[in-house]
Amino acid sequence: FGRESSDDEFGDDEGEEGSGEGRQADDDKHWSGGCPFMGNQNSTGEDRLEQELKALRATRATFETLFHDEQHEEMKSRGVRRWSRTATLNALFIFLYRDLPLLQMPFQFLQNLLEIDNGFTQWRLAHA
């Protein structure tokens, strides 16, 4: 505490060769190359961003099928969906407004159905 710090103590010395930007790039190369946990993550995150955008587009397309009967029926015929469009929208409505007193019992019923389905799935996996 009693000691005063100088700029060169932290490597901010203007007298060293190269600009601050070049030195920063050298430091980045040094640390990214020497850190094993970085792996092959030398990209700027553009790959990750593209993956997230692709997932968002797929989610949006799936959500849009709820509002178009033809698309929903096509997904149902392919086996992607099992419920009718009306049943799916009603279940979504119950899940979204489950805090309303009128919808608490239907929500609990749906929750119980999901627990039963999960139980069947676990039993099948355990006894396969």
Q: Output the pLDDT for position 44.
A: 64
Output the pLDDT for position 128. Answer: 80
Confirm whether 21 is domain-assigned. Answer: no
- 8 contact partners, CB below 8 Å, separation of at least 6: 15
The predicted model scores a pTM of 0.54
Count of domains forming the chain? 1
In a domain, 68, yes or no: yes
Render the burial of 4-31: b for 16+ CB within 10 Å, e for the rest. eeeeeeeeeeeeeeeeeeeeeeeeeeee
Map 54-76 to HEC letters.
Answer: HHHHHHHHHHHHHHCHHHHHHHH
**Report for 40-49, 79-88, 114-123: range of highest mean pLDDT:** 114-123
Domain, as residue range, for 63: 45-82
In a domain, 70, yes or no: yes
For position 46, what pLDDT does the model report?
84
pLDDT at residue 117, rounded to an integer: 95
If you search the block for the tokens 């979204």, which residue do you land on?
96
